[in-house]
A and B are shown apart, each in its own frame.
Chain A
C-alpha cells in the first residue's frame, strides 16, 4: 500500500519498543462484543484500474459548458444560484500548490503566514465588493469573515446573526429568494424555534419581480418590534435587481436589520454594493467565480457585515498584527466568539470552512482587477440584454417579470418550460431551469410551469445565444 510506509521489519521493531506482541494486541482493550469480526467488503484497485473506474463514472454524465469549451458537454444556460464563469487556468494551477491545499487551518501563525495573509486579502476583497466604500482615516465600515460553507448556509447564519444583534426572532423574507436558500433558512430556524414553526414571514413580488414594498411596509407596521431582519436577495431568484435602499429604509424604521443574499457577486461590478444601499449583513456565494460548478460544491459562502456588529459575526477572522520584532504579520483573531472558546455560547458552530475556494475566489478577483471585474460584468450584462431582446421578439415569449436584470432572465415560453428544456437537451443544450423543476420551483410565480430561468455569461458567444433562441422557437408549440 503506497500510502503506508511500514515494512515488516519496521513493525516488528516498533512493537518491540512498545512491548506489545502484535499489532492486533493494540486493539485488545476494545470489548470483543464491539469488534467487527470480518474483513470490510470493499475491493482495492490499483491506480490504473481506479482511474478507469472513475473515468467511466465521469463519462456517464454530461458536463455543462459554455460553447467555447464545448468538448462532449452540453451548451448550458443553467444558473439558479450557480452561474459558472470562465475561471482562468492560473487559479487552479495556483491552488494545486501543495502549500495551499495540503495545509491545515492556520493555528500556528509562524508557519502559516501564507494562508493567513491570503485570507486577510480575501476578507478585504469581499468587504470591498459587498460593503460601503472605505473613507480614508475612518475605521473600516464593513468586515468579512474567512468564509462560510455556501451561500445558503451563509444566508441562514446571517439571519441568526441578525436575531442576536436585535434580540428579536422574526425574519421577513422578500420574494423571490432562491428556494434552496429559503429551505436552508427554514431548516436552521426550525432548529432555533420549533420544528415547522420557523419564525419566517414572506412577502411576495410584483409584476416587476421586485418585492412588493407596500405589503412589506404593512407587514413591518404590524409586526414592527418582533422583526429581526428583512432578507432580500439581489439579483433575486428571477434575476431581478432589488431596490435594497428602499427596503432598508422600511426595515430601519422598525429597528430591523437588512440582510442581503447575493448568489451572483459579479453583479456588483456594475450595481451599487449592498453595503452602500444600507445593508447590514451580506451573504453570498463565490463558486461561479472561484471554481468549476462541481455539482454545486465545494463553493464558498461569502459573508460581510457592518463593523459595529463584529462581535456577533460567525466564523473565523484573520487580523493584522506584528511579530515580536515589529514586522507586519497575520493571526486568527477575535476567537472568543467561536465554538472552541465559547462552546455553547458561540456565535456559530462552524469550524472547518471553505478556505481553499475562498483563496480561488480571491485569486480570480486579483487577476480580473479593478478594470477587468467591471468589464466582465459589462460583458455579462450585454450578453443577457441581447438574449432578452431576441427572446422577447419571439412569438408568445416574454420576460416573466419586468424589473432590471443582470445576467439571468426568467422567460415565459410557449407551452411547458420543462418540455422545451427536454427537447433542447436532446440537441445538446441545457436551456435553463424550468421553474417547476423539483427543488428549483418557485410556486409564487404565476405560470411557473411556463417559465425558464436562463443564465448567460461571458462563456457564451453570440452564436450560442442565437442557437438557443432558434432552437427554443423551433421546439415550442
Chain B
C-alpha cells in the first residue's frame, strides 16, 4: 500500500492505491501448494549442463492472501458491464449471462484435451457442429468456420479464402476496396494478404454509393479481389445500396467481405449470406455475449457461401450416421490459422446464449438494441447532432462539432466528464472520418431508465461546457487517478517493472 508522508496508509472509500506485486511480499514467502515428490529427486544441473538456469526467474514472493488481495483490489479500479452501462460503439458491450460461464466450466468442456481421440470428444464436436448450424441459420451462410480467435483473425481468414478462391481460378487480383469509415483491422488484414487497399469515400449522406464503387472498379480493371464493407457501417447506418454494390463487385470478378462487428443490428432481420455477401466474420464476443475479459479472448467465426466452402480452414466438423468427426481431407483449404480448434470456451458460451434466446429472442434483442440507439438519438440530437441524417441502427454516432464551435470543450473532455457521472464513455475518435466522433452503442440490455440517465448526463455536460468549461476540461474528478500522461508513456516507454536503483 502507498504510504502517505505521515506514514499512514492512504485510502479512498477503502479502494487501495495498490503498488505493483513486485514491490510486495518478502523473501522466502510463497503462495504455492505443491505435492511432495513421490519419485526420486533429480539434478537438473547434471541433466541440462550448460542449459541449466542458475538463477530462478525473479517472480514475486507473496502468499495466496497477498495475491488474492492484490488482484481483488486491482479489479476494483476497473469499470465493467456488471457495474453499469458500457456504451462503447462498435463493441456491443451487452450483458454477459452468468449461465454461460457455468456451462463453459463443465468438465465435459473445460477438461477436454485437443489431442484426444475423436470418439472421446463427441459432445464437444456436436456442440461445435450445432453452433455452426445455428450461426448458418442466423447469418444465411452455407458453412461457418469457428477457428479464428477474434474479429481481426476472421478478417485474415476471410481474405485468405478470397485469395485462394481467385488463385484456384488462375487469377491473383490485388485490390480490395474499403470505405474510409472502416475499422483499422480491415486494411491491416488486407496487407497480411499481400493485397492493396483502395479507400472509398463515404458519400455526404454517410452511405457508400454505387457510383463510388463503380468508379473505383473502373480504375482497376481486372484487378478487383473484392470489397470489405461493414454493415451497418461504422456510422451506425444500414448500407442501403449494398445489393447493387455487391453486383458491381461480382461483375468485376470480386467477392464481397462483410465485417460483421455490427451484426447485433440485424439478427432475424437480414441474413447477409442470402443477400450477396460472400464472406463475413461474426464476433461471438460482441453479438453473442461472450465476455471481453478486459481485452480478450474473443472468437471470430467466419461464414461463407457455397463456392468458398473448399477453402475453409482445416479441420471442419462433419456429422455422419450419428457420429461427429473432424475432416482433414480438404486439399483446397487455406490451412490452419492457429493451433487446435479455436477459442472453444467461447463457442460453448455463445451456443448457450443462442439456445437460451432462440430465434425470437435474438430478433427481439436486435429490435431493442435499435430502439435503444434511436431513442438516445431522439433525446440527444439537438445538442449532439447525428453525423448522418440516415436512420440509426444499433448505434448512434455523433461528434463534438456543435459543442466545439460554441465552447472550448471537445470529445475527449466529454468522455472524461461522463465518468464523473458514473458512465463509461462511448467509443471516441472512431471512425476516423468523423472528426471528434462519439459512437454510442447502448445495446438491448440497457433499460429506459438507464438510457434516460445517460442522456441527462450528456446534456448536463453540454450545459457545463458553456457554464463551467474548465470543470469539463479537467475531468474526471471522481476517479482515483486523474488524466494520464500518454505522451510521457510513449516518449519514455516503461513496459515492465524494474528494480529500483
Contact = CB atoms under 8 A, between A and B. Distances in A.
A352 B297 contact: yes
Contacts of A46: 356
Contacts of B5: none
Contact of B484 (A61, A194, A322): A322
B374 A18 contact: yes
B481 A352 contact: no
B221 interface: no
Given A29-B238, A381-B44, A404-B47, A120 B496 contact: yes
Contact of B160 (A14, A96, A190): A190
A292 B74 contact: no
Given A110-B479, A349-B152, A129 B57 contact: yes
B271 interface: yes
B156 interface: yes
Nearest to A191: B193
Nearest to A47: B99
A295 B31 contact: no
Interface string A331-373: 1011010111111111011111111111100010111111111
27 contacts: A17-B378, A40-B268, A42-B137, A61-B124, A63-B110, A65-B111, A97-B71, A99-B83, A101-B96, A102-B96, A103-B80, A105-B294, A108-B415, A111-B476, A113-B74, A121-B20, A121-B21, A123-B495, A128-B57, A149-B153, A152-B336, A323-B481, A340-B184, A346-B184, A346-B191, A352-B295, A377-B44
A446 interface: no
B51 A272 contact: yes
Interface stretch (A78-86, A221-229, A250-258, A393-401): A78-86
Question: Which of A31, A104, A194 lies at the interface centre, i.e. has the most chain B CB atoms within 10 A of its CB?
Answer: A104
Interface string A298-320: 10000000000010000011111
A277 B21 CA distance: 27
Question: Which of A192, A316, A366 lies at the interface centre, i.e. has the most chain B CB atoms within 10 A of its CB?
Answer: A366
A366 B62 contact: yes
B197 A344 contact: yes
Interface in A60-119: 60-65, 68, 71-74, 76, 78-82, 84, 88, 90, 92, 94, 96-115, 117-119
A181 to B, nearest CB: 7
Q: 7 tightest CB-CB pairs across the interface, nearest first?
A: A44-B358, A296-B340, A58-B108, A63-B111, A372-B32, A356-B293, A40-B359
Question: Which of B25, B51, B93 lies at the interface centre, i.e. has the most chain A CB atoms within 10 A of its CB?
Answer: B51
Interface residues of A, number: 218
Contacts of B298: 352
B64 A367 contact: yes
A336 B489 CA distance: 13
B375 A17 contact: yes
A78 B121 CA distance: 14
A351 B122 CA distance: 33
B41 A382 contact: yes
A192 B194 contact: yes
Contacts of B372: 14
Given A339-B152, A385-B47, A183 B485 contact: no
Contact of B447 (A6, A101, A321): A6
Contacts of A324: 482-485
B111 A18 contact: no
Given A339-B152, A369-B61, A370-B61, A438 B326 contact: yes
Interface stretch (A212-220, A409-417, A458-466): A458-466
A249 B182 CA distance: 45
B406 interface: no
B345 A298 contact: yes
A273 B53 contact: yes
Sorting the interface of chain B by its residue count into under 10, 10 to 19, 20 to 34 or 35 or more gives 35 or more
A474 to B, nearest CB: 19
B497 A121 contact: yes
A292 B151 CA distance: 23
B256 interface: no
B7 interface: no
Contacts of A20: 374
Interface string A117-135: 1111101110111000110
B456 interface: no
Given A5-B446, A30-B270, A102-B96, A110 B482 contact: yes
A320 B152 CA distance: 27
A112 B78 contact: yes
Interface stretch (B301-309, B362-370, B464-472): B362-370
Interface stretch (B112-120, B211-219, B397-405): B112-120
Interface string B347-359: 0100110111111
A475 interface: no
Given A333-B489, A379-B35, A82 B77 contact: no
B114 A110 contact: no
Interface string B58-88: 1111101001101110111111111100101
B448 A100 contact: no
Contacts of B328: 438-439
Contact of A100 (B75, B185, B268, B430): B75
A170 to B, nearest CB: 16
B175 interface: no
B106 A29 contact: no
Nearest to B241: A31
Given A160-B192, A368-B30, 19 more contacts: A23-B371, A40-B137, A47-B99, A54-B351, A58-B108, A58-B109, A59-B108, A60-B126, A97-B71, A103-B293, A104-B91, A106-B294, A115-B78, A117-B77, A127-B495, A339-B183, A353-B296, A357-B296, A385-B47
